[in-house]
Structure 1
Amino acid sequence: MLTQVPQPLVYAEALLGQFTGLSRAADGAALLGEFVRGVAALSGCELSQLYLLDATHTRLGMNAECLNGILQPREATSLPADYNGEQLLQFALCQNRVLCLAELSGSLHETSFLPTLATPWQSLLCVPLVNRQKAVEGLLLCASRQRVDLHGFAESLGQLGSFVLGQLQLLQRLRRPTEVTTVAPLSVPNASGYGLIGKSAAMRQTYLLISKVLHSGYTVLLRGETGTGKEVVARAIHECGPRRSKAFIVQNCAAFPESLLESELFGYRKGAFTGADRDRAGLFDAANGGTLLLDEIGDMPLSLQAKLLRVLQEGEIRPLGCNDTHKIDVRIIAATHRDLSVLVSEGKFREDLYYRLAQFPIELPALRQRDGDILDLARHFADKACAYLNRDPVQWSDAALDHLCSYAFPGNVRELKALVERAILLCDGDELQVEHFALRLDAHPKEHNLDLRKQLEQVERNLLLKCLRKNRGNQTLAARELGLPRRTLLYRLGRLNINLGDLDA
């Protein structure tokens, strides 16, 4: 790495000194200033500049500049809003390639981003800076008024720049307000929830059922509305169970026609049908020793249901075009949003297969039934989206949280995830607001059998939950705000089955 720089040993000692000095920086501004000053000294260039992408990764701005050993003032009014029009900078940024030019004055490249001096700039080095996820976060630029080969500095300066990016992120986290860090643990999965998000009574019941069947070989039938996370629960059962070291395979039974689904599941031998030019193992064989999730099992054709029943009863399969059967050891988890008992009564699903699959059913609750989980899930999805986009975590306004809690989420967790990811893309700042969410507030669950008493109980329940969340679970303050004696509040909480552990702290 240092063979192409002059005096490699001296340079290595100076580079190590830069790493040591930058690690002691107390704030972001000092860190970036010392960085560009050190880069100028290491490369011997009169100019060094640091460009960083903003939180949305759409604008490139200059964050620090050192000219002739002096840090230049960062006056926002004197700098361009972004450098997206600079072709040299955008080439290095978008292509993630080091750019080195040794005869800059004689080229046709536009260099308006360099300071205008009496002596023209001759040499330029532009190095992309990547974070720990190997995503480009910015650019380091060095320029000299002499014709020199700067390419030998690229790798070492790039590593120094990546170190600075990590230090900058660390300093920003340390300087965040205390109230922001106190809500962060809410997005951490429940330790007893098998990696699943949620502390509501409905989810605790789900965790209990999972614990009962986790270490057995019984077939599990996951039921619930579309978007409730059936595949996520199936994966949790696999990864927390004794088969975690083997394969977890998912097959949607509604995604293939009958003939293709059979060959996909059971495999085939060469010559079994036109186009079968080789043997091919099916998904049952691929999942041997592990878990196979049959999603949308209610859409499986009747003829295949008989073959699946034999797999469940005998633990053996026969590939297409083969006369012999062989044993497999696969745990089957089935999932559906349809009522299989209704399909049985309509003759669309085999009754014997239904009772075999429903050996251990788990009904996943709809999101509207999971009091308090919406906020935990929203923060979790927001953190994941920010990590994917390589931007700092965002904060949540109280109005945005209340906005989410007032929505019925007919699409359940899947809809919530999509809404949060879209909001992160729309958010240019560091706080999510109501306008970042496009919610249909008239979309409420259809309840045909609610009488007046039940409707009033639902209104009272929502009011109590909102007041308790506002007061962070403090029953005395909540009772005072509601104008109730504390004993009356406790009675109403018990009558409505409201568990304080389900509240968002």
Structure 2
Amino acid sequence: MFTHVDQPLAYAETLLAQFTHLARAPDDDSLMGDFVQGVAGLSGCELAQLYVLDATHTYLGLSAQYLNGRAQAREGQSIPADYNGDELLQFALCQNRVVCLSDLNTRLHEMSFLPPGVVWNSLLCIPLLNQKQTVEGLLVCATQRKADLDSYAGSLAQLGSFVLGQLHLQRALRRSTGELRTPLVSEPRVSGYGLIGESQVMRETYSLISKVLHSPYTVMLLGETGSGKEVVARAIHDYGPRRSQAFIVQNCAAFPENLLESELFGYRKGAFTGADCDRPGLFDAANGGTLLLDEIGDMPLSLQAKLLRVLQEGEIRPLGSSDTHTIDVRIIAATHRDLTVLVSEGKFREDLYYRLAQFPIELPPLRQREGDILLLARHFADKACAFLQREVLQWSQAALDHLIGYAFPGNVRELKGLVERAVLLCEGEELLPEHFTRRHDLALEGSSLSLRERLEQVERSWVRECLRKNDGNQTLAARELGLPRRTLLYRMERLNVQVGERDG
């Protein structure tokens, strides 16, 4: 460990003295402050920084800094662990890799985490592991001279891991004596994870995502059709520690039972007629990454038992094989159906439901996302213009008002289709209300119906849409409409609405 260090014996003695000194630190601040001071002395660097992840592994807080011979407090500074800037810290944190640069180029690398006003030429960034061998912090050393700091990485990593262990030990002692715990970092800031929306309900969704992003728990995404469940699942993957691995989506309603089983678990040669070679399944294809099981409520009961074993044991057995093998896949489930109702009806396993619903996130419908409709509409329009290689279109106020006044029963998916169609219809440079006119609007516009008749048409359309989204389930449709089931049946009879009927 010390073969490439100048004066290895003296270095080893100094390192041992640091272990002894840090073991006697009376509190967190002394422990972390003495640590960065010791690191600066051991490495000969003018700067040493200690970053520690918060309890939810969501935010990376600068807990201690030693600069030019002085300890400096940097209270309240924290960086989201899913951030896109500071690529060097991001790489070390998410990939568990040491970063060593002996000739820094500030034009190539973002260095905002280093103190300004100084020309830094060499950098060492070391991931710090806890007792579970997962990354819990980072140690950063920097100097103004050009130097190869890599020889210090191994010993400083051991010292840093020791400090993390001491922090956990001190907090455990404080908890046992009833002392209050002092947080290491400030309150998390809201991050959008590449998602679009500034409404309060979306901010609450971002907060939930941040809590589960860096944990291994299974996520259940709930919400109406078209509310963006797959987009959120991809965001959890793209901003989490598995981002460099595969993200695979499988719709459980898209295949019959026997085909879905072979698609998920794979099969061995000769397992069934036509199986002329071994074929890995989607669990194997997503190994190390994320598998989204969309419309999980439509998975057959026999497959639900096999999925439960995957979640509990992390093992799969391909069709036609007598052997099992382990996999490491993060599973995200999504559905627009109420699984508690399916459980009560015997159509979904109760034990699987509780295993999947470790961390449910219910996505709000678009009609509840105040202010987000226009943000999404502009985004979809700009993307459509870029795809069609045409100039970005302007929006008339009348067109914006037209969108705000619509409830969007199809949610974000319906808005996206509506905007893309409007871009295709627009022959000028400005989007107008007529570009967004729906067939239903035209029917109302050209009719001479009374107000009551028009309201009945709208009510009839709304009831049909809710029944369609809930696959004809009147109980779920009534719940979504905020009506007792008996009232819904009465209105269906009065409006002449049949189950399975669609707008004509």
TM-score (normalised: structure 2): 0.51
Is 1:404 the counterpart of 2:412? The answer is no
Q: How does 1:213-232 map to 2 (within 5 A)?
A: 213-232=212-231
Offset of 1:438 from its aligned partner? 2.2
Offset of 1:448 from its aligned partner? 5.0
Secondary structure of 2:221's counterpart equals: strand
Secondary structure of 1:215's counterpart equals: coil
Is 1:361 the counterpart of 2:360? The answer is yes
Change in Cα spacing, 1:191 to 1:417, as seen in structure 2 (3 Å) is farther
Q: Given residue 335 of structure 1, which amino acid in structure 2 is its aligned partner?
A: A
1:324-345 deviations in Å (ceiling 9; x for gaps): 0000000000000000000000
In structure 2, what is the equivalent of residue 199 of structure 1? Answer: 198
In structure 2, what is the equivalent of residue 422 of structure 1? Answer: 421
Secondary structure of 1:338's counterpart equals: coil
Gaps of 5+ in 1: 1-189, 452-505
Gaps of 5+ in 2: 1-188, 442-457, 467-479, 485-504
- Alpha carbons 1:408, 1:444 under 8 Å: kept: no
Change in Cα spacing, 1:326 to 1:448, as seen in structure 2 (3 Å) is closer
- Alpha carbons 2:268, 2:318 under 8 Å: kept: yes
- Alpha carbons 1:221, 1:335 under 8 Å: kept: yes
Q: How does 1:271-290 map to 2 (within 5 A)?
A: 271-290=270-289
- Alpha carbons 1:296, 1:337 under 8 Å: kept: yes
In structure 1, what is the equivalent of residue 300 of structure 2? Answer: 301
Change in Cα spacing, 1:339 to 1:362, as seen in structure 2 (3 Å) is same
1:158-198 deviations in Å (ceiling 9; x for gaps): xxxxxxxxxxxxxxxxxxxxxxxxxxxxxxxx982000000
Question: How many percent identity over aligned positions?
Answer: 81
Is 1:325 the counterpart of 2:301? The answer is no
Secondary structure of 1:254's counterpart equals: coil
Q: How does 1:57-76 map to 2 (within 5 A)?
A: none
In structure 2, what is the equivalent of residue 378 of structure 1? Answer: 377
In structure 2, what is the equivalent of residue 264 of structure 1? Answer: 263
Secondary structure of 2:412's counterpart equals: helix
TM-score (normalised: structure 1): 0.51
Secondary structure of 2:248's counterpart equals: strand
Secondary structure of 2:361's counterpart equals: strand
- Alpha carbons 1:407, 1:444 under 8 Å: kept: no
- Alpha carbons 1:266, 1:283 under 8 Å: kept: yes
1:289-333 deviations in Å (ceiling 9; x for gaps): 000000000000000000000000000000001000000000000
- Alpha carbons 1:228, 1:413 under 8 Å: kept: yes
- Alpha carbons 2:190, 2:206 under 8 Å: kept: no
Q: How does 1:48-127 map to 2 (within 5 A)?
A: none
Greater than 6 Å deviation, 4+ residue runs: none
Change in Cα spacing, 1:450 to 1:327, as seen in structure 2 (3 Å) is closer
Secondary structure of 1:251's counterpart equals: strand
In structure 1, what is the equivalent of residue 345 of structure 2? Answer: 346
Q: Given residue 301 of structure 2, which amino acid in structure 1 is its aligned partner?
A: L
In structure 2, what is the equivalent of residue 116 of structure 1? Answer: none
Secondary structure of 1:233's counterpart equals: helix
Q: Distance in 2 between matches of 1:278 and 1:450?
A: 54
Offset of 1:449 from its aligned partner? 4.5
Q: Distance in 2 between matches of 1:336 and 1:407?
A: 25
Q: Distance in 1 between matches of 2:350 and 2:190?
A: 38
- Alpha carbons 1:248, 1:290 under 8 Å: kept: yes
Q: Distance in 1 between matches of 2:252 and 2:338?
A: 16
Q: Given residue 344 of structure 1, which amino acid in structure 2 is its aligned partner?
A: V
- Alpha carbons 1:340, 1:349 under 8 Å: kept: yes
Q: Distance in 2 between matches of 1:438 and 1:324?
A: 58
1:345-404 deviations in Å (ceiling 9; x for gaps): 000000000000000000000000000000000000000000000000000000000000
Q: Distance in 2 between matches of 1:337 and 1:307?
A: 22
Q: Distance in 2 between matches of 1:273 and 1:438?
A: 52
Secondary structure of 2:216's counterpart equals: coil
Q: Given residue 316 of structure 1, which amino acid in structure 2 is its aligned partner?
A: E
Larger Rg: 1
Q: Given residue 206 of structure 2, which amino acid in structure 1 is its aligned partner?
A: Y
Q: Given residue 330 of structure 1, which amino acid in structure 2 is its aligned partner?
A: V
Q: Distance in 2 between matches of 1:358 and 1:376?
A: 31
- Alpha carbons 2:301, 2:348 under 8 Å: kept: yes
Q: Distance in 2 between matches of 1:338 and 1:275?
A: 35
Q: Given residue 271 of structure 2, which amino acid in structure 1 is its aligned partner?
A: A
Q: Given residue 328 of structure 1, which amino acid in structure 2 is its aligned partner?
A: I
Change in Cα spacing, 1:449 to 1:220, as seen in structure 2 (3 Å) is closer
Q: Distance in 2 between matches of 1:262 and 1:301?
A: 10
- Alpha carbons 2:425, 2:435 under 8 Å: kept: yes
Offset of 1:450 from its aligned partner? 8.3
Secondary structure of 1:292's counterpart equals: strand
Secondary structure of 1:197's counterpart equals: coil
In structure 2, what is the equivalent of residue 334 of structure 1? Answer: 333
In structure 2, what is the equivalent of residue 69 of structure 1? Answer: none
Q: Distance in 2 between matches of 1:362 and 1:214?
A: 12
Offset of 1:444 from its aligned partner? 5.8
In structure 2, what is the equivalent of residue 17 of structure 1? Answer: none
- Alpha carbons 2:222, 2:229 under 8 Å: kept: yes
Secondary structure of 2:333's counterpart equals: strand
Q: Given residue 315 of structure 2, which amino acid in structure 1 is its aligned partner?
A: E
In the alignment of these two chains, the number of paired residues is 262
Secondary structure of 1:225's counterpart equals: coil
